[in-house]
Structure 1
Amino acid sequence: MRQQMSLARHVGSLAAVWLATLLAGCGSTLPTRDDGTLSTSAIRSETVGPAPTDPDQLLAELAERYQGQWSNQAEVFAASENGQQDAASSLVSQQIEAIRAPQFGRRVFRVRISFGAPGQQRQRLRLTRFAYDSSRSLVRQDVYGFPDANGYIQLAAESEAWAELSPDRLRPSPGCSIWWQRRDNGRWVGATDPGQCAAAELGESTGSVTEWLQLDADAMRYQQVRQVAEGQTAVDRQFEFQRARSFTGWFALHPQGDKATTAPAVGAWHTGRNLQLHDQGGSVVLPRGDGTPSGYRLELARLHYPGQARSFLRLSFIDANQRSLGYVFATDDARDIGVNLGWLQVGLQAQPAVAR
């Protein structure tokens, strides 16, 4: 909690004042707040016309928007640049993938949440489903926890085993259903019923809380608030996630690594053509030719220095002692990024984005 509140102080753009406009115009069907306004200048949401009225269309659009890889590494980087020593401990990543589990409904997702810096992460597994609620004319998102996630946390999203998962193995979250509504500009906003959720999605709460979300094509904002006195609330935690962009590529690693002084024998290079990582702090340890880990790691991140006009891509090279051996930069919209250090050669290409 202390770490999250410390991070919140460093990311003023996500202060509590954003909540009123988040759900403004929802009428009586969604909880409302009157303690501030939200500046949305940092989030681009194109004007796309009136929202669909067909429930199946609404469900399909929200489901497509929701899934993907999300991370708050950009705000963690900004906090670190502002001098916060423990910023990395506030890193949160979400991998959201559709699964086939008809016993729970048609729109069902596996959510893997990682908390903390790479190598020090703790993980949580959630199952969530979307359904249209005609009584409120809103999309309802129900969230289920895994008291025992063994056997499922690493299970592939396409596995048929999800269809055999018994509902008895899951823990429901009463009062934590998120009610979603689409804006005419394409933005989705959602909230739980006020003060009813005691099993918040992103971190344990200290009592019943309200969760608020704002979902754009490439950004997701989350805030958890708690009532501390009549008419007064406090922010427990807040995050701004960016959608990850996937990259694939190749590498060639000298068998002596960064200690190499001469060219290796023919065929001695450790090579691979199936690198996969994303630009929200995605990392991969390079394998040797026999498949064992070399200890050298690549990390790709889309970052933004405070005060700069735009963000950028950074590809870092890290050894087994977590020592940075160097990095290269590219514009944040670059389709390719790579390097030739002599002992290490890397080439990465961005994968086509899915329209959302």
Structure 2
Amino acid sequence: MKWTAQCRGGAAGAALLLGALVLAGCGGAPESAEPGGSPDESHLAEAPAEFTGWIAVRRDLTDEALAPGYFSREELEGGEGWARITGLRWSSAGSRVPVVIDGEATGYEVELHQVSYGGRVPVLKLAVYREGVEMALAYTWAAPDSRRIGINLRWMQAGLTRIED
């Protein structure tokens, strides 16, 4: 099967997407996954898989901070400006986890959902949403049987691991 990756964010977005896919143990998306479209159905061939994971987000997150180049390299890599939320749970049947820092909602959610695009190849999708908005800010995908999946948006990161029986 031929694997390709496409991204609405141009070359930089595609590079970020490919990095996330490599971390997930996947070389790209199946050519027939039609990544530019919307998922048309949940796709679970067996019982939903459960995942545990973490989210890290900048504590000083603002709309301006989402602009490329807003944070310096030192700010992005420094530990003080990050909030890390651990012990979170997701289901491949489709679940969104709100991003909450010190009891305060950030207005963002991280979703895991096994879906198919165009009625074709099922994928495990990890997406970041603004609360109340149905279009994802960003997403990545992997094979449905992947043990790990992650995403790095510079201002927010998430890493999930399948809970083995």
TM range, smaller chain: 0.5 to 0.7
Q: Distance in 1 between matches of 2:83 and 2:122?
A: 33
CA distance in 2 between counterparts of 1:292 and 1:333 reads 34
Cα shift at 1:350: 0.3
Shift in Å at residue 306 of structure 1?
3.5
Q: 1:282 aligns with which of 71, 95, 119?
A: 95
Residue 115 of structure 2: aligned partner: 303
Q: Is the 8 A contact 1:285 1:296 kept in 2?
A: yes
Structure 1 CA distance for aligned equivalents of residues 49 and 62 of structure 2: 28
How far apart in 1 are the matches of 2:63 and 2:145?
A: 30
User: Where in structure 2 are the equivalents of 1:220-239 lying within 5 Å?
Assistant: none
For 1:258 and 1:344, how far apart are their aligned partners in 2? 13
Cα distance in 1 between the residues matched to 2:95 and 2:119: 24
Indicate which of 37, 40, 60 corresponds to 1:78.
40
CA, structure 1 residues 244+268, in 2 after alignment: closer, same or farther (shift >3 Å)? same
Aligned residues: 116
CA 258–303 in structure 1, closer or farther in 2 if over 3 Å, else same = farther
Match of 1:326 among 125, 138, 152: 138
Structure 1: any 5+ residue segments left out of the alignment? 1-76, 81-217, 220-241
Distance in 2 (CA, whole Å) between partners of 1:304 and 1:78 is: 6
Quick one: distance in 2 between partners of 1:286 and 1:79? 25
Closer/same/farther in 2, CA of residues 79 and 272 from structure 1, 3 Å limit:
closer
- TM-score, structure 1 length as denominator? 0.30
The change in CA–CA distance for 1:258 and 1:337 in structure 2 (over 3 A counts) is: farther
Compute the displacement of 1:258 (Å): 5.7
Selected match of 1:253 from 32, 48, 57? 57
Which residue of structure 2 aligns with residue 342 of structure 1?
A: 154
Write the mapping of 1:175-186 to structure 2, written as runs, cut at 5 A: none
Using the TM superposition, give the Cα deviation of residue 266 of structure 1 relative to its aligned residue in structure 2, in angstroms: 4.6
Q: In the superposition, relative to structure 1, how do residues 272 and 294 fare at CA in structure 2: closer, same or farther (>3 Å)?
A: same
Q: Distance in 1 between matches of 2:123 and 2:159?
A: 17
Q: 1:347 to 1:253 in 2, by over 3 A?
A: same
Instruction: Report what 1:271 is aligned to.
Output: 84
What amino acid maps onto 1:279 in structure 2? S
Q: Give the alignment's Cα RMSD to 1 decimal.
A: 2.4
Matched, 1:317 2:128: yes
Q: Secondary structure at the match of 1:280?
A: coil
Q: State the distance in 2 between where 1:266 and 1:78 align.
A: 40
8 Å CA contact retained: 2:41, 2:116: no
Measured against aligned partners, the alpha-carbon deviations of 1:42-92 in whole angstroms (never above 9, x if no partner) come to: xxxxxxxxxxxxxxxxxxxxxxxxxxxxxxxxxxx5369xxxxxxxxxxxx
Percent of residue pairs identical: 31
Letter in 1 for 2:52: T
Q: What is the CA distance between 1:268 and its match in structure 2?
A: 2.5
Q: What aligned pairs does 1:99-118 form with structure 2 within 5 A after superposition? A: none
**Alpha-carbon deviation of 1:321?**
4.2
Cα deviation code 1:197-218 (max 9, x no counterpart): xxxxxxxxxxxxxxxxxxxxx7
Would the aligned equivalents of 1:270 and 1:287 in 2 still touch at CA under 8 Å? no
Match of residue 48 from structure 2: 244
